[in-house]
Amino acid sequence: MTEKQENILSAALKLFAEEGFSATSTSKVAKAASVSEGLIFRHFGNKEGLLNALLDLGQEKAKLVYSNVIFETDPKELIRKAIQLPFNVAKEDHDFWRLQFKLKWELNKYNEASWEPLQVAMTNAFKKLKYKNPEMEAEYIKHFLDGLVGAILRGSPIDDIKMTNFLLDKYQL
Amino acid sequence: MTEKQENILSAALKLFAEEGFSATSTSKVAKAASVSEGLIFRHFGNKEGLLNALLDLGQEKAKLVYSNVIFETDPKELIRKAIQLPFNVAKEDHDFWRLQFKLKWELNKYNEASWEPLQVAMTNAFKKLKYKNPEMEAEYIKHFLDGLVGAILRGSPIDDIKMTNFLLDKYQL
DNA sequence: GTAAAGTAAGTGAGTACTTACATATTAAAT
DNA sequence: ATTTAATATGTAAGTACTCACTTACTTTAC
């Protein structure tokens, strides 16, 4: 991985996340990365190859974030961690997640299943906590988290302390 | 409003909702509407004018949907109606809502405030129902509904009866 | 000295939009 | 009623430009 290659990747991530994949031209990426346009195609084959390289890199980060929640054994702590996901995601890897959320509307290639391990883990946690309907409870919170993360990534002003406290109270954590 | 004008609008709505605004060319719209490309510019000025015409038409439908919930006086019934919004929206005006949700990621022109009257109404309803934290309760359900509508519009298979019953039970309606 | 990394200058196809012209509709004048 | 003038509706063929991508060539690194 050369320096210019890294420049291309970071410029592309920023631009794709801000303005969208289709709306960002390869020449724009090249200029932002201070690189000739041809180099993008030498390294990544085509525009989609560049996108996939970004998604592959991000996928590893995503797994780290998820696994920290999923492998938590204490059910209350698991829910607690799940609730904090939106606010963590907004801080680190903001661009990657914004790209991810944009893509699920821009292309159909979105991995809707990436939520699933988390949903299963939450279902188990709610089971352990003797909730009446753990499956639906997990699906409910999943949609909520999806909506909340989306709002945060779009720049909605959200009082994270207020929201966190509200949720901790609601789920008696 | 001539017939060809209507053809342009319906073809554009379908294509913009399916493939996105930027990704749909004016020539594609013209072909789908069986119309010369120049006619689009005669009637709507430019591509963005066509989009705005669609959004204006949809806004009226949106107000109807919202007002049915907002002006409900019985708080329990209001929450009940709010909960059913995602499933109604998915049936009628599917394309318009899909376009709306796509746009809030594709452009920054999204009207995040269009939710607000609904949120205020829900806050009042939760107040009447003596909830401990009506404001946050309303924001919570807002994000949930946003996430759920998004999932439905993206084609996620959701058991609406199960979900509705779960929610009715959760909010004791 | 060979292979990888890099660039400049193209390529054809597609883009939003314009222009010049034709047809249809309406309204006024005779 | 019929002609005439004006206006709205429509089209075909362009415009300049941008797009993703290629080619021919040079520089760098081991």
Could you state, in order of their start, the residue ranges of all structural domains in chain B? Answer: 3-170
Most B CBs within 10 A among A143, A152, A170, hence the mutation to make, goes to A143
Three-class DSSP labels, A96-118 = HHHHHHHHHHHCCCCCHHHHHHH
Closest CA to A149 of B171, B172, B147: B147
Q: Is the pLDDT of residue A112 over 80?
A: no
Report whether B143 contacts A151 (CB < 8 A): yes
Architecture of the domain defined by A3-170: Orthogonal Bundle (1.10)
Q: Report pLDDT for A10.
A: 98
Q: Do B143 and A148 touch (CB under 8 A)?
A: yes
**Is ipTM strictly over 0.85?**
yes
Q: Report pLDDT for B110.
A: 67
Q: Report pLDDT for B87.
A: 95
Tell me how far apart the alpha carbons of residues A88 and A68 are, in angstroms, rounded to a whole number. 12
Tell me what percent of the residues of chain A surpass a pLDDT of 90: 87
**What are the pLDDT tens digits along chain B (173 aa)?**
899 999 999 999 999 999 999 999 999 999 999 999 999 999 999 999 999 999 999 988 888 899 999 999 999 999 999 999 999 988 888 999 999 999 999 997 767 788 899 999 999 999 999 999 999 999 999 999 999 999 999 999 999 999 999 999 999 99
> Which are the contacts of B49, defined by CB distance < 8 A and separation ≥ 6?
none
Q: Report pLDDT for B35.
A: 98
Q: What is the pLDDT of residues A35-48, one digit of tens each?
A: 999 999 999 999 99
The separation, in Å, between residue A22 CA and nucleotide D25 C1' comes to 31
The separation, in Å, between residue A79 CA and nucleotide D16 C1' comes to 58
If you average pLDDT over residues A11-19, what whole number do you get?
A: 97
Q: Report pLDDT for B112.
A: 77
Q: Which nucleotide comes closest to A5 if you measure CA to C1'?
A: C5
The separation, in Å, between residue A99 CA and nucleotide D14 C1' comes to 39
Q: Do A136 and B163 touch (CB under 8 A)?
A: yes
A 36-55 → B contacts, CB under 8 A: none
Q: Is the pLDDT of residue A60 over 90?
A: no
The separation, in Å, between residue B2 CA and nucleotide D4 C1' comes to 26
Binding residues for strand C (Cβ < 7 Å) = A 2-5, 34-39, 42-43; B 24-28, 37-38, 41, 46-48
Q: Do B106 and A162 touch (CB under 8 A)?
A: no
pLDDT band at residue A114 under the 50/70/90 scheme: confident
Judged by a CB distance cut-off of 8 A, whether residue A134 touches chain B is: no
Q: Using CB atoms, which residue from A20, A132, A167 is nearest to B22?
A: A20
Judged by a CB distance cut-off of 8 A, whether residue A19 touches chain B is: no
Other residues' Cβ atoms within 10 Å of the Cβ of residue B79:
25
Judged by a CB distance cut-off of 8 A, whether residue A18 touches chain B is: no
Q: Is the pLDDT of residue A69 over 90?
A: yes
